[in-house]
Amino acid sequence: MIKKDSVVSLSYTLKNENGEELDRSDAANPLAYMHGHGQIVPGLENVLEGLATGDKKEVTVAPEEGYGEVQPQLRIKVSRDKFPADAKIEPGMQFSSKMEDGGEIPFTVQAIEGDEVMLDGNHPLAGKTLHFSVEVSEVRPATAEELQHGHVHGAGGHQH
């Protein structure tokens, strides 16, 4: 049964509100995560609590329980001269920027308008309602090493 500190392997399909597939992980390559450690969106993690191997579930996750609402302050214009002169900048490119608190935010180039680069630091799925179809393929207790490292080892997880 899925509970805090369980290692969960699952296959899933993620669709948007229009039914378009956004992501998937099939049974041959399941997603593995450590339950209760914030490694998947909260709205999905909360619903998986208590499920067992073989269980299937359809889950709708609202933005506030997914990747959050769009934060307008993370959509910014930056002068082209803030980038290295030889850098080729194109829409869709991503890079990280250090913030004042020491953390990093990934930004995606949305557009280039003259000498200005339009950037978006929101997750691409921010503000979106997510529709998951999941099947639990395995549930096991996390090992002491996995708990110490804070992530799953082995199939579907981290390889050292």
Summarised one tens digit per residue, pLDDT across range 4-38 is 999 999 999 999 999 999 999 998 999 999 999 99
Does this model's pTM top 0.85? My answer is no
- Report CA Rg, the chain: 19
Cβ–Cβ contacts within 10 Å for residue 30, how many?
19
**Dihedral angle, C-alpha 25, 28, 29, 30, nearest 10 °:** 70
What is the token pair recorded at 51? 């499920």
The CATH class, in words, for 6-67+126-149 is alpha beta
Q: Where are the domains of the chain?
A: 6-67+126-149, 72-120
Distance from C-alpha of 34 to C-alpha of 9, rounded to nearest angstrom: 9
- Eight-state DSSP code of residue 114: T
pLDDT digits (tens, 9 = 90+) for 62-90: 999 999 999 999 999 999 998 888 888 99
What was the pLDDT predicted at 141?
A: 95
Per residue, the 3-state secondary structure of 53-107, as one string, reads: CCCEEEEEECHHHCCCCCCHHHEEEEEHHHCCCCCCCCCCCEEEEECCCCCEEEE
Q: In the structure encoding, which two tokens stand for residue 70, read together?
A: 């769009």
Architecture per CATH, 72-120:
Beta Barrel (2.40)
pLDDT bucket at 158, cuts 50 / 70 / 90? low
6-67+126-149 and 72-120 agree in CATH topology: no
> How far is Cα 79 from Cα 45, in angstroms, rounded to an integer?
40
